[in-house]
Structure 1
Amino acid sequence: MAESAHGWSRRDLLRRVALLGGGAAVGAGASQAWWRVQRRLPTVGAASATVGSGPQDAGSGELAVVWSAPTAQRLVALTFDDGPAPQWTPMVLDTLAQHRVPATFFLVGAQARRHADVIRDRLTGHEVGNHSWAHRDLARLNAAEAYDDLSRSHDAIADVTGRPPRLIRPPYGHLGGSVLHAAARLDCRLVLWSLQMVERDFPDDPAGHARRIVADVRPGTILLGHDVGARRRLVALHGLPDIIDGLRARGYTFVTASALLAPDVAPAPTG
């Protein structure tokens, strides 16, 4: 069945128009009625990447969103979300220090404020990013609310660590238009991930999980882990030394996310 310019089939379109307008006209009139309703939604809600009709105050006016680095170099960025907390953050930091591995910690602002002692003087060689104030789904907020949340977290992280974060990772990887606008206002790069720890697939098997991750890493991978959360995440954290050793055996070098995305990292060949 043919689709409209908006991606809806004619049947879907007519059904939605009927629900919205009861006896709305079909054909071109139906399409126009549907569009009149839909175009009102993004201007005030989370979908909008603009704020009103005035100046947008959007930082440099552009925004980068990255999942991985397009490089043939065997580089990998290890990242951790949701901390800090006394739960497992110290264990992760101990492991990284023992193996001399830099990582990027996407900190929750409220956690950083509450548990400043956990990371104080322990982030030398590591990078910090902004993971929101309290891990709410920012993609459900409007642009002003998302900015207030990320700005509050930004200030807390800068105050606790002495370094303002230049990277943002929204909770759950949800990229509403509001998140894009807020990140642009803060002049930050949005960094997601291209590979995630899969702890639930390897219950009580840290070595098996490590082998899986090592096998799946590719040049330029941004690897997502967590240093707080459900106990199943200990599978990845207990296997972190094996992940590090396994990737180094494959010729990989660990770098921070910003170092991975630096302009001097050689791009992958094309053609």
Structure 2
Amino acid sequence: MLNRRDFLRTALVGAAGVAVGAAGMKEIPHLFGWDRPPVAGGYAAAADVLDAVHHPGVAVRYYVETTEPVVAFTFDDGPAPHWTPQVLDVLDEADVPATFFMVGSNLAKNADVVRGRMDRHEIGNHTWEHDDLATLDLAGVTESLKRTEDEIHKQFHRPVTLLRPPFGHIGGSTMLAADSMGYDVVLWSKAMRELMFKGDPEGQARDIIDSVRPGSILLAHDEGDERRLVTIRGLSMMFEGLRARGFRMVTVSEMIAGAKKQSAS
């Protein structure tokens, strides 16, 4: 005999099945209103919450517009005990700074992995648990970012000014939260293609060396599975090859500041 909860679950599944058969899978979001986020509240809202706006605008950067031959390496999802120390070792050996977009829960668990090793590097906010911010309302986004920011302050005693939304997904609530917290949003202009160059770190390195342009922001990871190793093993070659092309490696904020100075002169 079905209880009330089981009955409702069965009814919903049955209704969804009927809807799929009648309307087709592509029509389901429209049928249930999932393609029509609310004007006020919800994950898509932004401009209607004017009391939350503190700045004239939030910058969203895929790259930095500059003629100076600089490039920023960024690493997402750590810190993690497996890959982060390897990345830091290569960066130290090559005297290269980078920007690490840290997941707050990973930092809380693995702070010892990066303690005393981040002085040359920049730290950005990558949410508490790699949350898809484009699916959260303003309260949810703010909670995730604030919790991560607090953990970064606790471990490093430094301000946080950059946000990278996981998957590059941005909703209006993300922009409002970024504005209220004083963040700029940083995406990327070039990502490591680890599946394409599986087992070929030299190929991965050459892909980066040949494609970088002044102001490029490169996406890599210091957490994940074995495929990440092709990037880590190719980092030294990337640095060497980019320097041979006349490039200098900087943090994202250093690149932004340099571009602003260049524009003002």
Q: TM-score range by the shorter chain?
A: 0.7 to 0.9
Question: Please, which of 255, 262, 265 is the counterpart of residue 266 of structure 1?
Answer: 262
Q: Deviations over 1:204-231 (max 9, x none)?
A: 0001110011111011000010001121
Question: Please, which of 243, 248, 251 is the counterpart of residue 243 of structure 2?
Answer: 248
* Alpha-carbon distance, 1:73 to partner: 1.0
The aligned residue for residue 58 of structure 1 is: 53
- Unpaired segments of 5 or more residues in structure 1? 1-15, 21-33
Q: Spell out structure 1 runs of 4+ moving beyond 4 A.
A: none
Confirm whether residue 196 of structure 1 aligns to residue 194 of structure 2: no
RMSD between aligned residues? 2.1
Q: Deviations over 1:126-149 (max 9, x none)?
A: 100000000010110011110111
Going from structure 1 to structure 2, the CA distance change for 1:112 and 1:190 (only over 3 Å counts) comes to same
* Alpha-carbon distance, 1:265 to partner: 4.7
Q: Distance in 2 between matches of 1:107 and 1:204?
A: 26
Other structure's SS at 2:51 match? coil
The aligned residue for residue 126 of structure 1 is: 121
TM-score by length of structure 1 reads 0.81
The aligned residue for residue 91 of structure 1 is: 86
Q: Is the 8 A contact 2:133 2:169 kept in 1?
A: yes
Q: Distance in 1 between matches of 2:81 and 2:209?
A: 27
Q: Distance in 1 between matches of 2:101 and 2:148?
A: 11
Other structure's SS at 2:199 match? coil
TM-score by length of structure 2 reads 0.83
The aligned residue for residue 42 of structure 1 is: 39
Query: 1:1-271 to 2 correspondence within 5 Å?
Result: 38=36, 41-50=38-47, 56-262=51-257, 263-266=259-262
Other structure's SS at 1:95 match? helix
- Unpaired segments of 5 or more residues in structure 2? 1-26
Q: Is the 8 A contact 2:52 2:176 kept in 1?
A: no
Higher helix share: 2
Paired residue type of 2:127: S
Q: Distance in 2 between matches of 1:169 and 1:49?
A: 18
Paired residue type of 2:262: A
* Alpha-carbon distance, 1:51 to partner: 6.2
Q: Is the 8 A contact 1:81 1:227 kept in 2?
A: yes
Q: Matched residues, percent identical?
A: 45
Other structure's SS at 2:63 match? coil
Q: Is the 8 A contact 1:90 1:118 kept in 2?
A: yes
Paired residue type of 1:42: V
